[in-house]
């Protein structure tokens, strides 16, 4: 029995639908995998930026100490000042909360803050799902401390683990 043109057209159409469906599934899978990788890279970039800024603050403390030792000290009590003022420019995600420098509310995710009451620098991760602190706090806090000799120190209040890495 010979195939009629209508039967051939229906078979061709059903094959095309299957092909397009497979293509849609493949593209959807690729988009989901791509978005997952973008998410992972964004979190890794945020972690690297946090570690870099902590390093920049520590370097600024050393430079401030050297200025002090050579008599080129800037005016003001270094320990009570906002450590972000020692940087060439404040980070774009620095959150200015009040004139006094006291933290009255939690900063938005992905922002740095300085709390003058405890002389602490804090960071709130944009996505705290991979952030762990013993107290359950959603922010990483670092005390600015003055040792007997040497530059200011930036020490974590707790042992923070973020994305499997210890923040210190």
Cα(23)–Cα(166) distance, rounded to whole angstroms?
43
Tokens of residue 22, six digits: 């497979």
What DSSP character marks residue 81?
S
Cα(149)–Cα(114) distance, rounded to whole angstroms?
24
Give average pLDDT by consecutive 10-residue segment, the chain, 168 residues. Answer: 64 83 96 95 94 95 89 64 90 77 77 90 91 92 91 94 91
Instruction: Measure the CA angle with vertex 163, ends 94 and 112; round to 5°.
Output: 10
pLDDT value of position 51: 95
Tokens of residue 101, six digits: 């420098």
Cα(141)–Cα(123) distance, rounded to whole angstroms?
7
How many structural domains is the chain composed of?
A: 1
Range of the domain at 118: 5-167
pLDDT value of position 7: 67
DSSP three-state, residue 99: coil
């Amino acid at each position: 029995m010979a195939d009629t043109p209508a039967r051939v057209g229906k078979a061709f159409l059903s094959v095309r639908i299957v092909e397009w469906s497979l293509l849609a599934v493949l593209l959807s899978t690729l988009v989901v995998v791509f978005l997952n990788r973008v998410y992972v890279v964004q979190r890794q970039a945020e972690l690297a930026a946090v570690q870099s800024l902590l390093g920049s603050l520590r370097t600024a403390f050393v430079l401030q100490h050297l200025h002090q030792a050579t008599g080129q000290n800037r005016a003001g009590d270094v320990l009570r000042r906002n450590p972000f003022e020692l940087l060439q420019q404040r980070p774009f995600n620095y959150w200015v909360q009040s004139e006094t420098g006291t933290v009255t509310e939690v900063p938005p995710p992905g922002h740095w803050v300085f709390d003058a009451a405890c002389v602490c620098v804090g960071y709130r991760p944009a996505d705290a799902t991979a952030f762990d602190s013993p107290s359950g706090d959603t922010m990483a806090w670092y005390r600015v401390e003055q040792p007997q000799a040497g530059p200011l120190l930036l020490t974590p209040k707790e042992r923070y683990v973020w994305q499997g890495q210890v923040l210190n």
